[in-house]
Structure 1
Amino acid sequence: MQGAEIGSADPASRAIARVSSLSRGGEGEGEASASPEQSPAEREALASAKERGNVLFNRELYGEAAAAYSEALRLARSPEDVATLLSNRSAAYASLSRSYRSRPARRSECAALFDLDPTSLAAMALKDAERAVGLRPGWAKAYSRQGTALFLLERFHEAREAFLEGLSIEPTNAKLQEGLREVQALLQGDASEATSGAAGGGGGTSGTAAAAAAAATAAATASPSAAAAAVPAAGPKRQRTLGAGASRGSLDDWDCSLCCRLLFEPVTTPCGHTFCRECFARAIDHRPRCPYCRTVLHVARDALPVTITLANIIGKAFPDEYEERRREAAGASVAPDAAASPTAASSPALSLPLFVMSLLLPGESMALNIFEPRYRLMVRRVMEGSRRFGMTQARRDQQEIEDVAVEAEILDCQSQPDGRYYLEIVGRRRVRILSHGELDGYRVARCEVLQDTQPQPGTPDHEAMPALTEQVGRQVDAVLSQMQRLAGGGGGRLAVRLRSMLDGLGERPPASQPERFSMWAGSVACLLPIETVDKAELLRCTDTAARLRMLAEGLGPRLVAAGGGPGGQGCVIA
C-alpha cells in the first residue's frame, strides 16, 4: 500500500513526542527552543495535506489518503491536530482493511493485489486510534475509531467496551450506535445459533438472531448505562457443589458454555476457550468461528485433541457427574449409528479455506509465495488452527472453480520482512467441493473426502489391477529416466527446473497400494504436456483401474513418439 509508514519512519511518533514536549513546557536545551507556534506557510501546508487526505478518502482511495494524513502529521503541533489526523488515518487503514475483506474472491482471482493483509491494516488502525484516545480522552470519535479497529481484529468484546465508552461521552453519536449494533448483533446472534447447534436443535435455546439484533438496536439507542444493562446475560446454569463436605458455592467455571453442563472431553481452541469436544464439533460445523469470542477458526471438527490435564482434574473433582456425562455421550453416539443408512457417507463433511491457483495431487509437494492480502489473512488463521487448506483451480471456462480440491498441509511457514509468507506444502487427501462461499475475500468450501471404490475380488477390474499397475510403472520409469538424465545435465534453467519438479513428486508408493500409486504416477504424468491427462479428472475419478488406464493411454503414445523407452533418442518432455 502506498503511503503505509511503519516503525520509526511513522511521523505520528515524532508528532506525539513533539506534543508531549510542548505540554511539559520544555525541560532541556533542545525542547526549550520548541514552540507551538506555526508559520502561516506551515499552517497552510497542514490544511492542504489534510484536505487532500479527506478528498482521497471520499474517493475511496484509502491508501493514498493515509499517506496524505501522514504528511500532515509531520507538520502538526497541537494535540487537537495530531489527534484528528491520527483518527483520520485510523479510519483510512480500517476502511482499506474492510475493502479487502469485502473484495469478491472472483475479482481477486482475475486481478491479484500486493499489499498488507487486512489484519495488519486493522492493527495499524488500532494503534492510531489508541494514540488519538490518549491525546483526547474526551473525544467520542476516537473511541469509534478504536471500536472499529478492534472489531476488524475480531476482538469483539473489547470493541463493545470501546463503543460503550464513546457513548458515555456522546450518547447520540450515530457511528457509535451503529458500531455497537453491529458488534452486539454478531455476539448475541452467533451465540444463540451456536448454542442451538450444540444442543442438537433442541428447544432449550433462548433467543434468536432476530431477537439479538433487536436487543442490540435497543442497547445502542439507549443511554450508556442502559446499553450496558441491555447486554443479555447467559441463561441460568445448573449449580453444582463438591458435596456435603465441600459445598462452598457454584462451580460454573467447569461448565461448557454451549451445553451449560459439566465439561466432558474438553478441547481448547487456538484462541484459548474450552468446550466439550462434541459441542465444539457441532458449533464449528455450523460456522467456522469460536463459539465464545467469534474469532475465525479453520479447524477440523476432530482436529483438536482432548485437553488431558483438564479432563483428569474434572474427572477427579466430580467423578459421579463425569461418569454420568460419559454414559450420556456413549448413549448419544449409539443412536445416530443405528439410524444411519447403509449408503451414508463414511466421513462427515469438512470446512476448508481454498487457495485458488492450481491443483495438487495427494503426496505432491509445492512451494508457495503468498503475497495477496486475502491469502495472507487466510494463512494467519490456518496456522493458528489445523495448518490445512484446500488447493484448487479455476475451470477452463474461467467462470467458476473446479468441483474437486486437495487438502494441503503446511509443512513450513516463513514470514518475510515485507509481510509475504513462504510456504512449503504437501497434498494429503482429495475432496469433492459440495458448496462454497466467501469469508473476508477468500473462498471457504464445504467438502467431503473422496476415496476410490475398491473392486470386488474376482471382478475383471480386480484381476486386471496388477497388470495395469505394472504397465504404468514401466511407463513412469521410462519418463523418470529421461527427466533425471536431463536434470543432471548441469546448471542450466531447464536442469534446475527439472530437479525442482522431481523433488516435488514425493516418495513412490508400493505397487501393493494401487490407489496411492496411481496418484503418484499421475503426478509424474502431469509434468508432461499430455492433453489426455488432466489433474481434475484424476482427482474426480473414484475407480483406480480407470485412472490407471487413463495414465497408460496418455503415457503410451508419448513414449512411442520419444523412441519407446529410456534408450530412445527422442524426448518425452518436448
Structure 2
Amino acid sequence: MASSLSPSPSSLDQTLRDVDDYVLENGSEGLSRDTLHYVYELVKNGNVAFRENRMEEAINFYSRANNIKSGDPIILSNRSAAYIRISQYFMHRTPSSSERRPLSGLEPTTLAELGLKDAEKLVELQSNSAKSYLLKANAFLLENSPTLGLYLLDGELLSEGQLEKYEKARDVILSGLQVDPFSNSLRASLQNLESVSSSSRGMSTHGHPERNDDFDCTLCLKLLYEPVTTPCGHSFCCSCLFQSMDRGNKCPLCRTVLFISPRTCSISVTLKNIIQKNFPEEYAERKQEHDSLIKAGVDLLPLFVMDVVIPCQRFPLNIFEPRYRLMVRRIMEGNHRMGMAILDSTGSLAEFACEVEITECEPLPDGRFYIEIESRRRFRIIHSWDQDGYRVAEVEWIQDIMPPEGTSERDTLQQQTYNAVEDARSWIARAKEAARHDCCNTKLLEYHTDQRKLERLASVEVMMPSPKDPERFSFWLATLSNRRPAERLDLLRIRDTAERIRRGLIFLRQEEQGCRIQ
C-alpha cells in the first residue's frame, strides 16, 4: 500500500530550488591557487548537474570537492540540498516510474539522513544562516518515510511518527528565528509547519480510523500483521513480503528492486501499534493464525525431504528452494526444529525419519539460507500433508526397547557400550594416523582430500555422546562410517540397541578394510 511520502509543497521546499555558486576569493589557508581552482570547477559542475536535475552527478561532484576542502559551508549546503532533492524524488515516484528505473542505489531515507548530517554541520559552521536551518528542517521531514497512522493530511493518512518529525522540524525553524527573527523564509516555514501540525492533531480527536482495505496487506488481503514498509513506500505483512521475495527481489506492487532481508528489515513499529490499538480483536486473530504456522505443536513437524539422517549427526545445508526458504523462516521464529525425511522406492515418504535442530542460520543476500543442523531424535510418520508448498507431518516419537535398570541384561548392554567406546576411539586414532600419513605422501589434490578426512573425523569425534546413554551412542557409532541411505533407514527402524552397536562395529571393520556390508 502507498504511504504519504512527503509533506505538502510548502515554503520549506523553496530553499531546495537552487544552490549557491562558489566564490574563489573565499580561499582557505593551506590550499594552493590551483587546488582552489579545481575545487571551484568541481562545485561549478555540481551546480550545473543540480540545476539540470542530475542529482547523483551533483552529489558526486560535491563529495569530491568536500574531500579536498572539507567543512566548506557552500559545499555542505549544496550537497545537503542535493541529497534532500533526490530523496524527495525517489519518495514521489509513481509505480510506472519505478518499473522504468528501479531503485538500485541508496534508500530514500538513507539519502535524507546524509542530507541531515551535512545540514547539521552547516548549522554549526553558519549558525546565523537561515538556509542552514531550512535544510535541516527539510531533512528531518524526510529522514523516516511516513507510514499509516491516525491522522489525516490532504486526504492522506499521517503517522504519529511523522507528526514527531513535523515537531522536530518546527523546533529547528524556531532555533533559526532566534538567530534571525526577521527572516521571511523562516517565518513562512514556521507558519506552514504549525498549520499542518495543528490540523492533524485536531483531527486525531475525531475517533478511530474506519476499517477499510488501507489497513490490509495486498498479498494476503488480510489485516496487516507485523507490517514492514519498503523503501519504495509500500507496506506488507513481513512474512508475506519475504515469501514473495523468494521468487524475486522486487516490490510486489511497483517492482522496484529491493535490497532488504529478514535480518536487516525491521517491523514498522508505528504502523503496528496503530493497527493493534484500533483493531485489537482482528489483530489477535491474525497473531493466532501466524503462531499456528510457526508453532506446529509437540507432535507436528515441518519436513525437509532430502536424505536419511540419524541422531548425532552435524552438517551444513544450503536452502535455496522458495518453499523451504519460507519453511526455514517460520522455523527460526519457532523452536528451530524440523524433520528430515527421504522418499522411498515408491516415491512416498519413508515411514521413519529424524528430527534436526538448526543451530546456525545465515541469511544470504540473494535470499538463500546457509544453515547448520544437528540431528536429535527419530520418529515415525503417522500421516503428512502439504502446507504452503512443503510437507508437514504428525509424528510418533520412537525409542529403543531397553532392559530394565538393575537387570543383568542392562548390565550386559552397558558393558557392550563401554567396549564399543574403546573400539571406536582406537578406530578413530588409526583413521587419523592413516590420513596424516597420506597427507605427507600424496599430491596436492589428494592432500586436500585427506585434510577433509581429518576434519570430518574431528567433527564426528566431538559429537560422541556419553556411554551412559547406549541408544544415542549406538547411533553415533554408525555415523563414523559412510552408509547408504537404505542402511541408515534400517538403523532408524531398529529398536534393539545391542543390535545397532553390533552393526556399527561391523561397519567400522568394513570401512577400515575399504568396503561395505551389502
Q: TM-score, normalised by structure 2?
A: 0.44
Larger-gyration structure (1/2): 2
Q: TM-score, normalised by structure 1?
A: 0.41
